[in-house]
Chains A and B, each alone.
Chain A
Amino acid sequence: MTATVDAPRGATPPAPRHPPAGRSPKRRVKGALTPWLMLTPGILLFAVFMAAPIFYTLLLSFQKEQVKGLGLGGDSRTREFAGLENYVATFSDPEFLASVARVLLYGLILVPTMLGLALLFALLLDARRTGAKGFSRVSIFLPYAVPAVISSLLWGFLYLPAVSPFYWIFEQLGWDDVPSLLSPGLVVFAIANIGLWGGVGFNMIVMYTSLKAVPSDIYEAARIDGASEVQIAWRIKVPIIMPALIMTALFSMIATLQVFAEPTTLRPLTNSLSTSWSPLMFVYRDAFTRDDIYSAAATSIIIALATFAISFLFLRVVQRRAFGQED
């Protein structure tokens, strides 16, 4: 990649390079220049709005701000080099470690449930004898369109005992002592439910599309052999769409690590959510509530690296397999 990260205005295109002489792809000169031209807008925008901010974050993460005395004068603040201080502080903060543990639990609840249900719905949509397919497919997919801020608000209303229809049902059933759905023991399920609601439809569509790509004559043979629909689903369909399942699992895991909007929106409604409930809330609190963007930058870098590590497998799978057949 050409060095465009330091182009501040995002306006100077990188100088296109000619390929080294002697190589002979199909269209030597023009063929080497054209792809770079086509990539220019993408690379420029990437450099300015993604690479530069990431490098800036990295820079900030090694700094800190110090004040003198009461800190009330205009010039009492100085920016200093902090080395790894901010990183050490994050790793030794029990609040941060607790937030990591919480999202791990959250992911453990959400990802299998969401993918399991998505798979179930996808298989049912693909099964020959299921009815109401069109309606169900659109309905289940619909929540994907609702922004997390709004869906959390909706569910928040549905969770609070005084305004919740669920509690009305519990009352009719004679269950008087149902704890609040947002009580400390249940709140992680309440948040996972919002994630499930928003995500199950998307994953269902991914799996369903994958199922549709399989020619039905494969199943016919199995049917002739006397296999039941369930057996066909479990023995043939699931293995066929395994790559799709792996991909959705990886994407879901990445999203899990980044949970932010749901707990942030629900927090004012309950005593069960702290301002550092998830790692990204921890970052947000440092950056905005505590006005310490340096610590926030260090924690951001840690989260990004963890995401990279987890996604490493994903990247390798994608790169090796997806593009093997290109020119």
Chain B
Amino acid sequence: MTVTTETRAALVPELSGTAGRRAPKDTRVPVAVGSTAVLLLGAVYCLLPVAWVLIASTKDASELFSTFTFAPSTHLWDNIVDLTAYRDGLYWRWMLNTALYAGVGAVISTYISALSGYALAKYVFPGKATVFRILLMGVLVPGVILAIPQYLLLAQVGLTNTYWSVLLPQLISPYGIYLARIYAAAAVPTDIIESARTEGARELFIFHRIALPMMGPGLVTIFLFQFVAVWNNFMLPYIMLGDDRLFPITVGLSGLLNQGASLPSMYTLVITGALLSIVPLIALFLVLQRYWRVDLAAGAVKA
């Protein structure tokens, strides 16, 4: 067991059945108060603003600025009704748009990443290292910097202010390709590919029917990464879109917030909107949380 420079630094999904898995605990030990308290303190810190939104969204506009911060009120339903009434339910359209940009976008992006990552991990071909190096550099370029030239280029083909203008640029994820390469290398044994080839299977059949399912858990992680990345990307849709019926939720809420400056009753809509927008994400996280295992050093113990 060496943990020195031989260790592989890589983001690898935890694969059940690999040597790295820890044996189940066999003894029950008493709970330590101190360490539990520290951990709970961390949890409270992280939940505090969430609790604040929850409470603030129950207040009406004047209570928001006049009653004690953590004193709940009874206007949650009214606020949801108001939010729904805002420009004929525009908020819910933003929700659907977000689902499209982040959900559909992330699914396609994950597939493209898997395809590229698998090709980079499992084939030997000239130029492979160069391609990977160039793709990897994309990880380092901030989206804020890309958004402006992307706008200017998309405007040349008249695609700005359309769903495409937000969807297409976010289908490429260098980070996703990077992760997929590692997952493919770790999860798909080469001898299985070889034996499938000997049996005459075509390359894409092998990828779709054999490799893809093996990469499954890792792909869920890539999906979640990309989902959160698109969900968080404010600048691109902000620049690309002029029509507020195409907005994702972040841009829409930020617009309401700006109007809150001169029309403060908007603040309650923003807060209620923020609360409702976090709910589906929380649900998604809870459902998929077992896939949130991002390992930077799997393989360390194999060395």
Contact = CB atoms under 8 A, between A and B. Distances in A.
Direct contact of A and B (CB under 8 A): yes
Interface in B254-273: 254, 257, 261, 270
Counting chain A CB atoms within 10 Å of each CB, the highest count among B35, B39, B65, B274 belongs to B39
Given A38-B119, A140-B46, A53 B149 contact: yes
Nearest to B25: A128
Q: Which of A25, A42, A158, A293 has the most CB of B within 10 A?
A: A42
Nearest to A202: B294
A239 B118 CA distance: 31
A300 B8 contact: no
Interface string B191-221: 0001001000001100100000000000000
A12 interface: no
Contact of A165 (B10, B70, B138): B70
Interface string B30-47: 111001101110111111
B253 A243 contact: no
B74 to A, nearest CB: 20
Contact of A280 (B10, B144, B204, B253): B144
B245 interface: no
A42 B113 contact: yes
A154 interface: yes
B195 to A, nearest CB: 13
B103 interface: no
Interface string A30-45: 1110111011011101
A149 B298 CA distance: 34
A147 B7 contact: no
Given A280-B142, A308-B140, A205 B292 contact: yes
A61 to B, nearest CB: 11
Given A141-B292, A206-B294, A239-B3, A53 B9 contact: no
A120 B38 contact: yes
A175 interface: no
Contacts of B130: 1
Interface in A18-69: 19-20, 25-27, 30-32, 34-36, 38-39, 41-43, 45-46, 48-54, 56-57, 60
B146 A323 contact: no
Contacts of A42: 112-113, 115-116, 135, 172, 177
A268 B262 CA distance: 13
A121 B42 contact: yes
Nearest to A42: B116
A214 B32 contact: no
B234 A261 contact: yes
A136 B285 contact: no
A225 interface: no
Interface in A115-147: 117, 120-121, 124-125, 127-133, 135-136, 138-147
Contacts of A248: 296
Nearest to B285: A145
Given A215-B20, A321-B10, A53 B150 contact: yes
B149 to A, nearest CB: 4
Interface string A192-216: 0000010011000111011011111
B129 to A, nearest CB: 8
A46 B174 contact: yes
A131 B29 CA distance: 10
B153 to A, nearest CB: 6
A43, A60, A128, A146: most-surrounded residue (chain B CB, <10 A): A146
Interface residues of B, number: 122
B295 A209 contact: yes
Contacts of B90: none
A31 B35 contact: no
Contact of A144 (B148, B168, B228, B295): B228
A124 B39 contact: yes
A34 B234 contact: no
B116 A39 contact: yes
A254 B140 contact: yes
B226 to A, nearest CB: 13
Given A41-B112, A50-B141, A157-B52, A60 B25 contact: no
Contact of B153 (A53, A258, A261, A317): A53
Contact of B253 (A150, A200, A213, A322): A150
B142 A303 contact: yes
B23 A215 contact: yes
A130 B145 contact: no
A147 B144 contact: no
B172 A46 contact: yes
A146 B38 contact: no
B292 A46 contact: no
B297 A243 contact: yes
Interface string A293-316: 100110010011001100100010
Contacts of B250: 147, 149-150
Contacts of A243: 7-9, 296-297, 300
Interface in A204-233: 205-207, 209-210, 212-218
Interface in B1-58: 1, 3, 7-11, 14, 19-23, 25, 29-32, 35-36, 38-40, 42-50, 52-53, 56
Given A124-B39, A215-B22, A150 B300 contact: no
B162 interface: no
9 contacts: A31-B125, A39-B116, A39-B131, A43-B131, A53-B153, A130-B32, A145-B281, A248-B296, A327-B123
Closest 7 CB pairs of A and B: A244-B296, A53-B149, A42-B116, A45-B172, A139-B43, A38-B119, A35-B123
Given A243-B9, A318-B136, A327-B121, 10 more contacts: A36-B119, A38-B116, A38-B204, A45-B172, A49-B169, A146-B281, A149-B253, A154-B52, A247-B11, A283-B144
